[in-house]
A = this chain, B = another copy of it.
Amino acid sequence: MAADTKHRILESTSELFRRHGYAGTGLKQIVAAADAPFGSIYHHFPGGKQQLCEEVILSAGRMYFDLVHAIFAAAPDPVSGTRNAFLGAAAVLEATDYVDACPIETVALEVASSDDLLRRACAEVFEEWIVGAGAIFREAGVPEAEARVLAISLINALEGAFVLARTLRSPEPLEAAAATMTNAVTAALPGA
């Protein structure tokens, strides 16, 4: 099944990029992990490693967007949603030996100053997240401009906490982010 092979390659690549980054992951490792022949990469991704990476960024970015969106949708209010998002991320990180954090963060930093096509793909993903999170806060009554600042700060805190948590191998940064950001969201809501 060609479509199945392509899917397995995307999955393996996403997984390997999380652990070793873009430059640190070889195409040979990817096909080995996906249990696919080497030629499959260039059959499904004629643009080579760059195209494969672009598709991984966009699909992983959307999956993560849906995940966070579901957490906020399941929560009774944005303050609870914020807390659940950070504490849920802390639990996943601990359970996966500090591997399973943001799927595109390492790649985003690697390509920011060296590959403009991939940088733009990451930018598209982050902008989608900002707009999505901003909409949640706006619907809760936060004014437009403030909602965007809050949304960006939420993602700032999440991405930054991932760097510290993975490096320190501790949930403490995500817990600190949960505390600080629930305060910020609380202060921004109309009732405050």
Pair A180/B109 contact, Cβ less than 8 Å: no
Among B113, B149, B160, B179, the residue within 8 A (CB) of A155 is: B160
Which residues of B are found within 8 Å of A157, using beta-carbon distances? 153, 156-157, 160
Among B20, B99, B156, B168, the residue within 8 A (CB) of A123 is: B168
* Given known A-B contacts A21-B21, A105-B109, A109-B106, A152 and B164 have beta carbons under 8 A apart: yes
Pair A168/B127 contact, Cβ less than 8 Å: yes
Interface residues on A, range: 35 or more
- Smallest Cβ distance from A43 to chain B, in angstroms? 26
Chain A residues 156-172 with CB under 8 Å of chain B are 156-161, 163-164, 166-169, 172
Among B24, B113, B148, B163, the residue within 8 A (CB) of A159 is: B163
A177 in contact (CB, < 8 A): yes
Q: Which residues on A are within 8 Å of B, measured CB to CB?
A: 18-24, 97-99, 105-106, 108-110, 112-114, 119, 122-123, 126-127, 148-150, 152-153, 155-161, 163-164, 166-169, 172-173, 176-177, 179-180, 183-184, 187
Copies in the complex: 2
Q: Closest 10 CB pairs between A and B?
A: A160-B160, A156-B160, A23-B24, A159-B160, A23-B23, A153-B180, A152-B176, A112-B166, A106-B109, A149-B176
Pair A164/B153 contact, Cβ less than 8 Å: no
Pair B172/A152 contact, Cβ less than 8 Å: yes
